[in-house]
Amino acid sequence: MLDNNFDEAWHPGEGWEAMQGTNFSRYIGPFYYQPVGERVRFCMRTDNRHDNSHERAHGGVVMSFADEALGFAGRWTRENVKMFTIEFDCRFLDGIYSGEIIEVEPEVIKATGSLMFMRGDLTANGRPVASCTGVWKVFRNK
């Protein structure tokens, strides 16, 4: 059922911090992150702003969340870098209802001096909903 109540005060709980992402990610978010050992995981709560007119989260929102999360995770592993997505692939496995929590714990598959290859499997309330892979161009901050 469609959750028409956007709750700006929603927070995933203890240990989660709000991501200070791009203007776009703040517009469709908020997104949250939580360190897990050497890695980091991310979540967001879908709401009526994300509806694709079929009471599901729009695929563009899901891909944007995954792109931001994987990119942030890559920067998490390196200091003083900027990264830009140069390739991104996403397979949708199931629909995401408004009000569900999407989570991903990205994995760096390989990192070179100028490229980072990553993947992430997204879940909504524990259910597999998407699988993403991508390549990011790495630039050193000057």
Mean pLDDT over each residue of the chain, to the nearest integer: 85
pLDDT of residue 116: 96
pLDDT of residue 107: 96
Binning pLDDT at 50, 70 and 90, where does residue 8 land? low
* Residue with more model confidence, 121 or 5: 121
Phi/psi-derived region of residue 102, left when phi > 0, alpha when psi is between -120 and 50, beta in every other case: beta
Long-range pairs for 36-39 at CB < 8 Å and ≥24 separation?
36/105, 38/77, 39/73, 39/76, 39/105, 39/106, 39/107
pLDDT tops 90 at residue 58: no
Cis before 35 (ω within 30): no
* Residue with more model confidence, 20 or 96: 96
pLDDT tops 50 at residue 3: no
Binning pLDDT at 50, 70 and 90, where does residue 4 land? very low
Residue 102 · residue 65 · CB < 8 Å: yes
pLDDT of residue 7: 57
Give Cβ neighbours of residue 136 (< 8 Å, ≥ 6 apart).
70, 71, 74, 83, 84, 85, 86, 115, 116, 118
Torsion of CA 40, 66, 28, 76, to 10 degrees: 30
Q: How far is CA 70 from the centre of its chain?
A: 6
Q: Is the dihedral of CA 63, 64, 66, 67 positive or negative?
A: positive
Whole-structure pTM value: 0.86
**Rounded distance, CA 54 to CA 106, Å?**
28
Binning pLDDT at 50, 70 and 90, where does residue 1 land? very low
pLDDT tops 90 at residue 98: no
Q: Is the dihedral of CA 66, 24, 71, 138 positive or negative?
A: positive
pLDDT of residue 40: 93
| pLDDT tens-digit readout, 26-55 | 767 788 999 998 899 999 888 877 777 777
